[in-house]
Amino acid sequence: MPRAPKNNKLRWQLPLLYFLAILLAVSSALPAYIQSNFLGQIMSLTMVSWFFAGANLLTILAIIFFPVFIEKFSNYFSTKIVLAIYGASLLGLTLTAHPLTGLLSIILFTITSNLILINMDILVEAFSENATMGRTRTIYYTFINLGWIGAPLLSSYLIKVGEYQLVFLIAAFLVAPIFLIVLSQRKRLDDKVKYVQEKISLTIKKTWRNKNLRGIFFIALLLSTFFSAVVLYVPIYLHGVLGISWSVLGPIFSLMLLPFILIEIPAGIIADKYWGEKEMLMIGFAIMVISLFLFFYIKTPIIWLWALILFFSRCGAALVEAMRETYFFKIIDARDVGYINIFRAAIPFGYVVGTSLAVLILSFFPLNYIFLFFGVLMLSGFGFAASIKDTK
């Protein structure tokens, strides 16, 4: 898959995209760790799981048809539309008059927060070189993760000041400068590549037949399934079962995200120059498996211990995320919008798998057993990592 030609005059656009990434990340992260508890006010834990499964199924459908929209109207135009709906969904979450408004808003938030990642992927890929892809993608994701680090702490403070609605309102306000920057930078951000057009069924077949694309897709799927467990069910477990307050959880959740800042850029540079991606993927999955088993076995609210284990778990996730991004964007091009959509579909698909499994597990076992079963599932990551061919 040959890479699209790059315009040297436009490479400075990467810093602008990094800045947009951090704003988008804060806006997405503020609601992320509280939405399951927010929904828990109006429905049972099982219903919360089913709701997120349904929202992510709709997201997968949107992603499947998104390439057609991008090819017809351009990535730049679709970015504006998605941002507008994304902001409206966050504003909708501030309206508490009717529960259906909140449910519809979370569905739209789930869909658009995934679609905007695809828009950003295409933009970043268009201004990137293969030789430095590991560095570029991990710098990009480090900026995203910078936004995520402070969000839990800010969310916990905003909940104390103005309940959940204030969190959603601040997240919505952050969309305004993003939208204005996109509007003002049309000449620089408008589409620079000609997209490869083909039916989604053909793209899926090609992905399945290519062992490297297939392997990295399932690795992305497993990572998303892991996130579904730790983002949706760890807060419920720690707050609802173990009784740890949000004033404590906010700083802990911010601390646990530090590995995404500390690890990903060095991992990307190492992948570019020294090791292959396979070795670091396996190390990452090993840490994730051990962490999930520890989540299951520890049943006491010892703050420092949970902070340490949560930090350790994200060390593994950061390694897998860095290699997921580095590897995939080394073997595809910005023109391959269909492959990018299939790859990003792994994120909501992982949440569908995770929440559906959680419903099944909760039908027979206590909440902490989710972590045990998910830990066993993560063991398959070693097989998928072994199946791909290193890019070096």
- Per residue in 275-316, pLDDT (tens digit) is 778 888 999 999 999 999 999 999 888 999 999 999 999 999
Is 212 a domain residue?
A: yes
Is 84 a domain residue?
A: yes
Residues 6+ apart with CB under 8 A from 193: 4, 126, 333, 334, 335
What is the mean predicted confidence (pLDDT) over 47-71?
A: 87
Is 232 a domain residue?
A: yes
Q: Can you give the residue range of the structural domain that contains 359?
A: 8-387
CA dihedral of 126, 129, 135, 140, whole degrees rounded to 10: -10
Look up the pTM and report it: 0.78
Specify the higher pLDDT residue, 188 or 132.
188
Is 325 a domain residue?
A: yes
Q: What pLDDT, on a 0 to 100 scale, did the predictor assign at position 108?
A: 94
pLDDT higher than threshold 60 for residue 204:
yes
Q: Which of 81-90, 114-123, 141-150 has the highest mean pLDDT?
A: 81-90
Q: Tell me the torsion sign for CA atoms 156, 161, 167, 172.
A: negative
What is the mean predicted confidence (pLDDT) over 24-40?
A: 81
First to last CA, the chain: 16
C-alpha distances in Å from residue 171, one per residue of 10, 16, 160, 183, 279: 30, 20, 16, 19, 38
Q: What pLDDT, on a 0 to 100 scale, did the predictor assign at position 6?
A: 47
Is 279 a domain residue?
A: yes
Would you say how long the chain is, in residues? 392
pLDDT band of 97, cuts 50, 70, 90:
low
d(CA 136, CA 87): 28
Is 345 a domain residue?
A: yes
Per DSSP, the three-state class of 239 is: helix
Residues 6+ apart with CB under 8 A from 372: 292, 293, 296
Residue-averaged pLDDT of the chain: 84
d(CA 136, CA 155): 29
CA dihedral of 259, 261, 263, 269, whole degrees rounded to 10: 170
pLDDT band of 193, cuts 50, 70, 90:
low
CA dihedral of 199, 201, 205, 208, whole degrees rounded to 10: 120
Look up residue 27 and give its two tokens: 């806006």
Q: How many domains does the chain have?
A: 1
Is 59 a domain residue?
A: yes
Look up residue 98 and give its two tokens: 């009717």
d(CA 384, CA 278): 9
- Per residue in 217-244, pLDDT (tens digit) is 999 999 999 998 888 889 889 988 888 8
Specify the higher pLDDT residue, 97 or 206.
206
Packing angle of the helix pair 337-362, 369-378 (nearest 10 deg) = 140
C-alpha distances in Å from residue 204, one per residue of 26, 97, 220, 249, 333: 32, 42, 15, 40, 16
Is 392 a domain residue?
A: no
Specify the higher pLDDT residue, 8 or 59.
59
Look up residue 268 and give its two tokens: 């990307």
- Per residue in 121-171, pLDDT (tens digit) is 888 877 766 666 667 777 888 888 888 887 777 877 787 777 778 888 889
Beta strands in the chain (DSSP E): none
Can you tell me which residue has the tokens 């559906």? 356
C-alpha distances in Å from residue 117, one per residue of 67, 153, 233: 13, 23, 23
pLDDT higher than threshold 70 for residue 98:
no
List the CATH number of the domain containing 129: 1.20.1250.20
